[in-house]
Structure 1
Amino acid sequence: MTSYDLPKWDVVVIGGGHNGLTAAAVLARSGRKVLVLEAAGETGGAARTQEFFPGFRVSSLAHVLNRLHPDVVKTLELEKHGLSFTRSDFIPAVALARDGRSLTLHGAYGETLSGASPAEQAAWRDLRAQLLRYAGVLKPFLTRRPPALDGLSLAGGAALGGAALALKRLGREDMRDFLRVLLMNVADLLDEQLQDDRLKGLLAFDAVLGSHLGPRSPTSLLGLLYRLCGEAGGEPGGQVLPKGGMGAVAAAIRAAAEAAGAEIRTGAAVKRIVVDKGRTTGVTLESGEELRAATIVSAVNPAATFLDLVGAREIDTGIVRKVKNIRMKGDAAKLHLALDRAPEFSGVDAAGHRGRLVIASSPDDVERAFNPAKYGEFSPEPVMEITLPSLSDPSLAPDGACVLSAVVQYAPYELKEGWEAGREKFLAAVMARLEAYAPGIGALVRHAELLTPADIEARWRMPGGHWHHGELQADQMLVSRPISGWSGYDTPVPGLFLAGAGSHPGGGVSGVPGLNAARRIIAMKA
């Protein structure tokens, strides 16, 4: 078969995660012939719902939805495909305490606070309003293609102007304070305005979740602002546990892509992106099959895209060096427990058990858990976010049984003793921590699955096991994501575009990288 006889597509999308499916849906709706290639046996990427023990299903990696952008919902008409959320679906966030004196944020990230003193509730109302105002300044940057600072376009100039206007609207005092705190560590800001360690611990945990940072690390406040830029059901800070798990979100996006005419193939791993005379011409699969397409969209890790699929020989050495220096060593593990029945966390009511349960008693508690990770070790007292999704969705577990899903900080990718030796020790530390807050939980365990960053790397082809495909820190955001000079979804290889979590604005189930990459391609071809 000659190259002229090979199957021809307008666009080939590599990776059937939610971003790849979003890009495919938008491009197919524009009239292009689109093929999605997913290496695994099913689409969804890290937002799949999978059985981890007979009868027990769980959101495999991401387990709380708080970033799905309304533009994605509207553009793909996801409500027509069974995905919609209202305020009644928002889950609370519970700061657990060993003595049972838990504290709870209700509504869209703490519209009301219970379990704290009246003075602390008032202080939190003021701080929450302030944080949402500041997040509002950053949000335009995090939802659009980052402006190209060399040769600023009209749209890029408008985005910068809009952000400047939002900053001006803060007023003089808020504007000064925004500039003061933007790169501040989250612990110092919380100490300035709050007194209750339980509340401060919860907020500090949320600021560093998924990152190699502690609450006292410079710029750690950015993580909390990034979270508050997200939304669910149209409400900033809203968080939900989707019925059917996170796989239901990916399934709705897939349905939108297929309805638009995109073809999706699973079990189709790409071995190489073919570059001829300096531009993309197609892909070669691991099976040996070749597919032609002038436009390739990679929704997988940027380093894997450039170094493995394209190859360093096709890329300038300076760019190769930048790509190799992207920090993307994961620091979070995922725990799944199949339980005989629902556990009882001390001091938590029925509604709280259906929300996010956070073990992080203070910012110092989080910082102490982080300290060993700097040296390739894990803390004997890890901090974590826990959900019990089967309480709200009984289809995820057998009758009377329960699923526990937890994201555990900190689990260094390069564990000094190696994960083969350290896995059982880390699991024992996590279970001991759970036992202190839910006495008797250990006796309920039928099966435990612990996914370390090394496991995450292998299962989802994420180099470094980092679920954001790269640290979300100031030097790896905005115009520097994934690397400086190439932050707008197009790449140094003509015809190749990036659309995954390693692109702007970053990770989380938002769909924004996929949406923006598709819009960029459409605009360039118009």
Structure 2
Amino acid sequence: MTEIKSEYDVVVIGAGHNGLACAASLAKTGRKVIVIEALDSPGGACATTEFYEKFSVSSCAQWLYQLNDSVVSQMSLEQHGFELSARNIPTTVLCESGDHLTVFSDRLEGAGVSDKDKAAFKSFTKQMLKFCDVLSKAFKRRPPNLVDRSFGDVMALLGLGMKIKMLGKTDMRDLMRLGLINIYDVMEENFDNDLLKAAISLDSVMGSHMGPRSPNTVFGYLYRHMGDIYGYGRPGVSVVRGGMGQLGQSMAKAAKAMGVDIELNASVDRISIDLDKVMGVVLKDGRELRAGIVVSSADPKTTFEKFVGLANLETDTLRRVKNVRMKGDAAKLHIALDGLPNFMGLAESRLGDRLLIAPNMEYIEKAFNPSKYGKFSTSPIMDISIPSIHDSGLAPEGKHVLSAIVQYAPYDLEGGWEAGKQPFQNLLIDCLSQYYPGLKHQILSAELLTPVDIEERYLIHGGHWHHGEISLDQILMMRPFPGVSQYSTPVDGLYLSGAGTHPGGGVLGLAGLNTAKEIISQKKNRTG
């Protein structure tokens, strides 16, 4: 067991993927770093849990899509047990008639899709990837400070402007237009096939409190598909062998190999502050870890309201913290199956695909509408994985695991989740059975995680996977809010490094790398 000291250069709160990436980067510079984690395993929402006897599942994040190559290479993760069991997985949009549509990274198959839509899909994908490439460099550095601009900020803005200009007049005009409108209208302009339009629309709103007609949803699509530019295993989604928890375990092993101390089952009581300067962290068991720098990879509300404390916040900062929108609208369903799933009209070779229940854009929009009033939809959206197809170790021989991200499931459910959880789970199984008639006869056990469960299990305020909505008023220099959007905070020595900071949620690792760069850069500026 690692001996835990009482003095460090840096204390990192949270052993999620961003916290571990940040800790490892700082340790490489010779700093003494410790990571404090309240849970009993590293990885945060990158978790693998056994939900039924010998049945394991990625219990929060289920797909690897956006993890930056730099995280894998800098931490040598492949040398510490990180491995993909499948990559470049296509998406199949299920149809009740069995005439499903399969969307590959470069082509379409099935559902009677027309040659016109096939050609339009190639053109659309090509243009979207151009736009993603333009934005990708902004994701790999701190967002520019528009008030106190440094030379680096000016150069970054000029560089972004030049990349946009180099798109050419047509693409530049389209980027400016698309960034502000909704994905519904864009789909209507480009395609005829309902399943195709639904698949792209769902990618634009997944994990958010938005529907296809909501403003700024085109940005949601671009954000998700950044993984096609810099994601490990690109293009498309991947499955991690051993579940997403194996990523957390591999990152923890790599960080320890670089000299990082990691203490699990250690809850933070508060961040110690004296005269607006960080002094360290006080744990709930009474121990104090002294450090001149504290990095919190917890969400912004947890960091400021619980760890910093309202009494240590100025009125303006307090108001901004309270206004961060981060109430989850997604649930997670896990089912232990007594055999191989059998979806109507779906070839066995397609069972390992990313499977969607989202027949058209109107269906998605109607599913979203009740959540605005604290109700779940009677026609839910599902993003389904059967990971045991790719990784037999997740279930006993001959058995399988079904995992589904479910939209929309409002955090503040009318009547509360204690009363609503079982009815919603029954509804989800009924919905799945429309496409998979034998499902109920194969269920050995089922588990539903609501946003409230996700909040309690993974200590994420509001159960929001992204630590805050991914929308134009909460991205770049606005994330999580002005004044703390360059990772540093009004408290000297306190930095944010979680999904609630730039560039945002998902399993990217860039917030962790960027925060480390900022800390190293500020130290050089002070001593240079």
TM-score by length of 2: 0.96
State the Cα distance separating 1:349 from its structure 2 match: 2.1
C-alpha contact (below 8 Å) 1:85/1:233 kept by paired residues: no
Residues 76-225 of structure 1 correspond to what in structure 2 (within 5 A)?
76-83=75-82, 89-106=87-104, 110-115=105-110, 116-225=113-222
CA distance 1:147–1:94, shift in 2 (3 Å):
same
What letter matches 2:184 in structure 1? A
Query: What corresponds to 2:466 in structure 1?
Result: 468
Query: What corresponds to 1:406 in structure 2?
Result: 404
Taking the aligned partners of 2:62 and 2:136, their CA distance within structure 1 comes to 23
User: Which blocks of at least 5 consecutive residues in structure 1 are unaligned?
Assistant: none
Aligned residues: CA RMSD: 1.5
SS in 2 for 1:47: coil
What letter matches 1:221 in structure 2? V
SS in 2 for 1:176: helix
Query: What corresponds to 1:265 in structure 2?
Result: 263
Query: What corresponds to 2:417 in structure 1?
Result: 419
Taking the aligned partners of 1:76 and 1:162, their CA distance within structure 2 comes to 29
What letter matches 1:367 in structure 2? E
C-alpha contact (below 8 Å) 1:6/1:292 kept by paired residues: no
C-alpha contact (below 8 Å) 1:227/1:237 kept by paired residues: no
Taking the aligned partners of 2:333 and 2:449, their CA distance within structure 1 comes to 6
C-alpha contact (below 8 Å) 1:6/1:290 kept by paired residues: no
Taking the aligned partners of 2:413 and 2:523, their CA distance within structure 1 comes to 46
Query: What corresponds to 1:65 in structure 2?
Result: 64
C-alpha contact (below 8 Å) 2:88/2:235 kept by paired residues: no
Query: What corresponds to 1:283 in structure 2?
Result: 281
What letter matches 1:23 in structure 2? C
Percent identity over paired residues: 47
What letter matches 2:77 in structure 1? L
SS in 1 for 2:23: helix
Taking the aligned partners of 1:245 and 1:84, their CA distance within structure 2 comes to 10
Q: Deviations over 1:481-524 (max 9, x none)?
A: 11112101111100111110111111101101111111111111
What letter matches 1:31 in structure 2? G
State the Cα distance separating 1:234 from its structure 2 match: 5.1
What letter matches 1:397 in structure 2? A
TM-score by length of 1: 0.96
State the Cα distance separating 1:174 from its structure 2 match: 1.2
What letter matches 1:373 in structure 2? S
C-alpha contact (below 8 Å) 1:19/1:500 kept by paired residues: yes
SS in 2 for 1:406: strand
Taking the aligned partners of 1:177 and 1:236, their CA distance within structure 2 comes to 25
Q: Deviations over 1:23-69 (max 9, x none)?
A: 11111111111111100111111001111111000111000000101
Query: What corresponds to 2:50 in structure 1?
Result: 51
Query: What corresponds to 2:11 in structure 1?
Result: 12
CA distance 1:482–1:7, shift in 2 (3 Å):
same
Taking the aligned partners of 1:12 and 1:234, their CA distance within structure 2 comes to 28
Residues 354-393 of structure 1 correspond to what in structure 2 (within 5 A)?
354-393=352-391
Taking the aligned partners of 1:522 and 1:401, their CA distance within structure 2 comes to 49
State the Cα distance separating 1:83 from its structure 2 match: 3.1
State the Cα distance separating 1:350 from its structure 2 match: 2.8
User: Which blocks of at least 5 consecutive residues in structure 2 are unaligned?
Assistant: none
Q: Deviations over 1:403-440 (max 9, x none)?
A: 11100000000011211111111111111110001111
C-alpha contact (below 8 Å) 1:335/1:450 kept by paired residues: yes
SS in 2 for 1:521: helix
C-alpha contact (below 8 Å) 1:229/1:237 kept by paired residues: no
SS in 1 for 2:50: strand
State the Cα distance separating 1:342 from its structure 2 match: 2.1
Q: Deviations over 1:453-497 (max 9, x none)?
A: 011111111111101111111101111111112101111100111
C-alpha contact (below 8 Å) 1:272/1:310 kept by paired residues: yes
SS in 2 for 1:370: helix
Query: What corresponds to 1:23 in structure 2?
Result: 22
SS in 1 for 2:467: coil
- Equivalent residue pairs, number: 518
Query: What corresponds to 2:272 in structure 1?
Result: 274
State the Cα distance separating 1:105 from its structure 2 match: 1.4
C-alpha contact (below 8 Å) 1:335/1:405 kept by paired residues: yes
State the Cα distance separating 1:81 from its structure 2 match: 2.5
Taking the aligned partners of 1:500 and 1:245, their CA distance within structure 2 comes to 21
What letter matches 1:272 in structure 2? R
Taking the aligned partners of 2:352 and 2:501, their CA distance within structure 1 comes to 33
Taking the aligned partners of 2:466 and 2:286, their CA distance within structure 1 comes to 30
Pairing partner for 2:495 from 491, 494, 497:
497
